[in-house]
């Protein structure tokens, strides 16, 4: 897996993000947004995923759009990411957009290596994931969730569940004592992925930024 590095190599705060070509196109804007608002020095490691549906899926599932089914390669991807998390003096946060956001949530249920999860528009409609979250508690202290306010307005019956699923996930995390917020962005799933991901990392990695957002009513 190709790994691209951004930010300061010496930073104690490390952000971990699985990405595809589209994510990399917006990485300049994402990094700029994080740098402008995060009150800490950071290093971001972007893990270039070769097969999105295979490498980020926790288990096999049938295709829900097009004809490409989902594989079960998430554990292998997680193992490789964890090989970059060996410095106990550093703090690691995992996050991503869409299926990478779902992967980040799943990963935080599999290991306690991460201090928080930045899940921007995560694919929580993924078959069986709601049951998984009920059975496998998240093993980190902070979870950021977001969704576009038009994402659940789709004719696809599986993906249309995303709104209910993310509300359920937020309620579940809060009930278990996790510091969790759910933020609603304007637009559909394909709008401003870079900025939404930046907002996710900023909130989860900076308690001051989180407090400001709460005061401004930006989260629910």
User: Could you give the CA distance from residue 145 to residue 118 in angstroms, rounded to a whole number?
Assistant: 7
**pLDDT tens-place values along the chain, 220 residues long:** 899 999 999 999 999 999 999 999 999 999 999 999 998 999 999 999 999 999 999 999 988 877 789 999 999 999 999 999 999 999 999 999 999 999 999 999 999 999 999 999 999 999 999 999 999 999 999 999 999 999 999 888 989 999 999 999 999 999 999 999 999 999 998 899 999 999 999 999 986 555 555 545 555 4
Cβ count near 123 (within 10 Å):
25
Structure confidence by residue, pLDDT tens digits, 139-194: 999 999 999 999 999 888 989 999 999 999 999 999 999 999 999 999 998 899 99
CATH 3.30.420.40 fits 2-215, yes or no: no
Q: What is the secondary structure of 99-150 as a DSSP string?
A: HHHHHHHHHHHH-S--SEEEEES--TTSTTHHHHHHHS---SSEEEEEEETT
Q: What is the pTM of this model?
A: 0.93
CA terminus-to-terminus distance, the chain: 36
Instruction: Beginning with the edge strand found earlier in the chain, give each strand of the sheet holding 116-120 in spatial order.
Output: 2-7, 43-48, 13-19, 91-97, 116-120, 142-148, 179-185
Domain boundaries of the chain, sorted by first residue: 2-215
> CB 149: neighbour CB atoms within 10 A?
12
Torsion of CA 195, 196, 200, 203, to 10 degrees: 70
């Amino acid at each position: 897996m190709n790994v691209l590095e951004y930010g300061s190599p010496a930073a104690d705060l490390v952000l971990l993000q699985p990405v595809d070509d589209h994510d990399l196109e917006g990485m300049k804007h994402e990094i700029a947004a994080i740098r402008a608002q995060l009150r800490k020095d950071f290093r971001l490691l972007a893990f270039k995923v070769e097969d999105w549906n295979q490498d980020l899926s926790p288990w096999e599932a049938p295709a829900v759009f097009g004809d490409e089914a989902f594989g079960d390669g998430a554990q292998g991807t997680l193992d490789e990411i964890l090989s970059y998390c060996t410095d106990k003096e550093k703090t690691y946060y995992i996050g991503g957009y869409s299926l990478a956001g779902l992967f980040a949530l799943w990963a935080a249920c599999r290991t306690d290596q991460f201090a928080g999860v930045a899940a921007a528009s995560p694919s929580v409609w993924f078959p069986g994931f709601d049951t998984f979250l009920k059975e496998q508690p998240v093993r980190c202290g902070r979870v950021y969730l977001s969704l576009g306010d038009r994402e659940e307005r789709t004719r696809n019956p599986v993906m249309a569940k995303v709104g209910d699923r993310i509300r359920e996930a937020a309620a579940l995390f809060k009930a278990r004592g996790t510091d969790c917020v759910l933020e609603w962005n304007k637009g559909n799933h394909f709008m401003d992925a870079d900025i939404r991901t930046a907002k996710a990392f900023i909130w989860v990695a900076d308690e001051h930024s989180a407090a400001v957002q709460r005061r401004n009513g930006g989260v629910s």
